[in-house]
Amino acid sequence: MATARKRPRPDEDTQAECPFTVSHPDPNEKDKKPKRRRQESEDQPVPKVPLQASPFSPMGKFKDANNTMDRYYQVHPHQKWMDMTRYNSFVLNGVKYYSEGFIFVANNSTIERQKNPGEPRQSRQKSEDDWVARILEIRASDEHHVYARVYWMYWPDELPQGTQEGKKSIQGRQSYHGQNELIASNHMDVINVVSVTAQATVNQWDETNEDEVQQALYWRQAFDVRSMELSVSCDSRTRLVPGELTRP
């Protein structure tokens, strides 16, 4: 089965290192494994697999009506992550960032733009802008080691080949996607907060309000990276862009 494209981290010489990775184990898998010896189990207890409730509630539907976008996860190395203190916010360059807030995150394209500041904006795709993420959790061991567990927002251009939208298989930006449109996802990662470049304002757009014009970044669809499925959020015959109607 195809899987969502991982977001490569920028070269280590251009971004602070992040020692944490995220996996998504099956919480029922431990029931299938042979029981450990009593002493081994006591010395190395098996960590409970937490469930991340999705902060996104798209108006659209998936083929599976019970799909909640919630996801089991495990951060590695687990004990190092758990030993850090959990915080509700952090301050970077005088700006305070909060858990559940949206952020811009630097990537290799960001670094290239810094090297070539004269590059015309119109020559770049929106997906070459900074990545956008929603903070789920903040942990730190001290003021120099602060990390955020995030769910990534996707630019429509980043939808991978094999994405399922209803009965169609699509890839990349579609005709109904607006210039400032993002797609919510359950693609989880841990980042060093030094990668954060700015706060982001991202609104959820209610398509039933045709008169609502989105000036800032917005989202309406969700992408489940487990099934590669994009939620279908309005009538398949007419898809809306803020301020106008478009027909595929």
Average confidence score pLDDT of the chain: 80
Q: Which domain holds residue 120?
A: 21-28+44-246
Poorest-pLDDT segment among 50-54, 110-114, 127-131, 218-222: 110-114
The answer to whether residue 33 sits within a structural domain is: no
The answer to whether residue 15 sits within a structural domain is: no
Would you say residue 225 has pLDDT above 60? yes
Poorest-pLDDT segment among 122-126, 136-140, 237-241: 122-126
The answer to whether residue 210 sits within a structural domain is: yes
The answer to whether residue 8 sits within a structural domain is: no
Angle at 22 between CA 108 and CA 161, to 5 degrees: 60
The residue to which tokens 């917005």 are assigned:
218
Q: How many CB atoms lie within 10 A of CB 100?
A: 10
CA separation, residue 15 to residues 9, 84, 166, 229 (Å): 8, 21, 38, 32
Residue 22 and residue 194 in contact, taking contact as beta carbons nearer than 8 Å: no
The answer to whether residue 70 sits within a structural domain is: yes
The answer to whether residue 67 sits within a structural domain is: yes
Residue 172's domain is classified under what CATH number? 2.30.30.490
CA 157, chain centre distance (Å): 15
Would you say residue 235 has pLDDT above 90? no
Residue 203 and residue 174 in contact, taking contact as beta carbons nearer than 8 Å: no
Number of domains within the chain: 1
The answer to whether residue 5 sits within a structural domain is: no
Tell me phi and psi for residue 90, to 5 degrees.
-145, 160
* Residue from 194, 201, 232 nearest 215 by CA: 201
The answer to whether residue 11 sits within a structural domain is: no
State the Cα–Cα distance between residues 87 and 171, nearest whole angstrom.
38
* pLDDT tens digits, 149-202: 999 999 999 999 999 988 889 999 999 999 899 999 999 999 999 999 999 999
The whole-number pLDDT of residue 107 equals: 84
Would you say residue 104 has pLDDT above 70? yes
The whole-number pLDDT of residue 240 equals: 60
